[in-house]
Structures are given as structure tokens and as C-alpha cells.
Structure 1
Amino acid sequence: MKLLDKYILSKFLKTYVFVVGLLVVVIMVIDFTEKNEKYIKNDVPAEAIIQYYMAFAPWIANLISPITVFITTVLVTSGMAVKTEIVAILSGGVSFRRMLVPYLI
């Protein structure tokens, strides 16, 4: 794996983990606020709520994963374009198709 691949892949994975984590937290907070009244009304113990959200987080992360891949691709590519990194990569003799290899991984 070339240095360029590692650079783009690391930027992509960092952004992907951040976006997924952020969306999962937002969705869990919204879900908790919607169900909070029912938890209080039915005297649900805190351990059961924590256990529910520990199982809910991976499920929701898997559910939103396809759209977050798209969002991450757009964010990373636009960030590289703003810093003119794409122009530098293409000017350095790397073909556009070769530059897209880390995105396909």
C-alpha cells in the first residue's frame, strides 16, 4: 500500500468513525427523550435502559452505515479539494482512477 493510499484511507476512516459516532449519539438521545416518560411511568431499572442502548447502538450504526459512507466520501473529497490536495495529487502524475483506489477499499 502506497503512502497516498494510507493517507486517504486514514482520513476516510477517521471521518467515517466520527460521523457514525455522532449520528448514533444523536439518534440515541432522540430515542431516549421519546421513551423517557414511558421508562419513568413503568419504573424501568437503569440497568435495563443501559442494556437496551448498548444493544441499540450497534444496530443503529449498522443501519445508517451506507449513508454515512456516502457522507464521509463527500466530506473527505471536498476537504481535499478545498486544500487543493487533489490538484497536487493529479499534478504529481497519479491518475484519477489510481487516486480512487482507497475509496473503493
Structure 2
Amino acid sequence: MRTFDIMFKLLDRYVLTRFLSILMGAMVAFITVFLVVDVVENMDKFIDAKMPRQAMVAYYLYTLPWFVSI
């Protein structure tokens, strides 16, 4: 019975690490696509408003948690 418990814990850990690594990879890919598309869409607005680079970075840093929560 003890061997079964050890193997089950090992299998759980393996499945969990594989799942989390795939999940993190997908999240990074979606966030990258979101940022690229949003920058391309809003670049004209940023240029017209003469927004400084620091403000654009702050905008995306504050927008990122909203996107991740979706």
C-alpha cells in the first residue's frame, strides 16, 4: 500500500508540473499577442497625445492584470 501512495504522489506531481508548464506557456503567448495587438491599435492615439514612453509602459503595466484575470 505504501508503494502505491508514493507512486500516486509522484504521478500527481508529474501531471501537475506538466499542466502548469503548459498553462504558463499559453499565458505568456496570449499576453504577448495581446500586447502586440494593443500597441498596434493604440499607437496612433499615443502619438497624437504625445504621450511619453513612461506613461505608455505604465498603461500596459496597469492593463496587464486586467487581461490576465480574463
TM-score range, shorter chain: 0.7 to 0.9
What 5-or-longer segments of structure 1 have no aligned partner?
A: 64-105
The alignment covers a number of residue pairs equal to 63
Q: TM-score under structure 2 normalisation?
A: 0.84
Number of the residue aligned with 1:39: 46
Displacement of 1:61 after TM fit? 1.1
Pick the aligned partner of 1:53 from 50, 60, 65. Answer: 60
Greater than 4 Å deviation, 4+ residue runs: none
Which amino acid in the other structure matches residue 40 of structure 1? Answer: I
Deviations 1:51-94 (A, max 9, x none): 1111111210110xxxxxxxxxxxxxxxxxxxxxxxxxxxxxxx
Number of the residue aligned with 2:29: 22
Structure having greater relative contact order (Cα 8 Å, sep ≥ 6):
1
Is 1:10 the counterpart of 2:9? The answer is no
Displacement of 1:21 after TM fit? 1.0
> Among the aligned pairs, what percent are the same residue?
32
1:68-79 equivalences under 5 Å are none
Determine helix, strand or coil for the equivalent of 1:2.
helix
Q: Which structure has more helix as a fraction of its residues?
A: 2
Which amino acid in the other structure matches residue 52 of structure 1? Answer: Y
